[in-house]
Chains A and B, each alone.
Chain A
């Protein structure tokens, strides 16, 4: 590359200054692609992006979390007031509590359904590709579209679900009542994400060593015993990956709320609360404080996940 460039300059007969500039450029290029710096050269675009898109918003949020500001006029320094307000804010604590509730309900149900179906489908059967293909579909559809879809399917009078329920004699259920709405949202989320657990665990089951199970059967181990003592422990790294990834996504649940209750009827979750504070009430300072809180919550989970991910790569 370098010699080509110099050669071209010489034969082109351009001015000395031009040639000098070209050779300077060539040495910079040479340095960037040298054995020592090449790895960093490759990272330059990413590093620029990280600084702009990660460090900047982070410091911005941290900065304003110590201020009182309504997007207009001067910001007023209030110290830790926003954080103190957060700890005494009943509706924030409720939103946090609900978020954890959703987290636990969804992760546990998804894992249970996932484990069951993965065990069921871990065999050769006719039409297995069609079954698997169809089961994957909800994962890829926009969560917003799905929330609007379910909002209508679960509508009291015209919703298909209630019509079916009343036809079979169970009767209509008011899915969006203050008592039930949060669980309805959980159900929608589970509906969209249970295939994730199914297919991760299915991949795990297929990679298990067959001879171990063979040996267990020869030794006369029962099915339940084999499942509890062999299958489950061997799947546990994958179960951890599911739990951690799902936790991170569930903490920031937003779309399913927008299409359904919009944070009403006792369904306000953490991210929705932050959104409302910052973009409806324009209380940037308080919103930032809550955003930072939500961030640290995720980072803690993320650190655990990163270890798991690296471990899984290490085993390859």
Chain B
């Protein structure tokens, strides 16, 4: 059975520091990803901190940004405070735009598929996203968005090999096609590492 890198790290820390079983369990549970955006019947606009980390959220919408019918449907269906009018296009895939969407206490990355009229999203708490970005997968590729000012991300694979992905100015979306990696982002909040699974 494969053990996640973070769980292995927790076990190693416990071994050298003498942490007991129940404390180890607590540490392991702290490794769990965060919960969904809390329910909200009204849109929750982008916050000051979100706009600071992603300046596009502080810009007037482009014509393409206003073509947000699917994001609006996501907001209506989910009832988690998605804010369609604050959503901005931050990149594209072969089938459509990539959206950065504020939600209740969260930021989400969403992939629109213009061929079948669908949209898939993944959300994480705002405090995590503004420091190291957010990702979403479609089952074959993981798309990640780094905060403004990040010029590259380091990707460490299961074999501990590191690949550096340079980000083009004005395009902070990176793409991953490996199964389970650790991504390190060195942004204005300092260096942050997180696990990415999928692709």
Are A and B associated in one complex? no
User: Which A residues are closer than 8 A to B by beta carbons?
Assistant: none
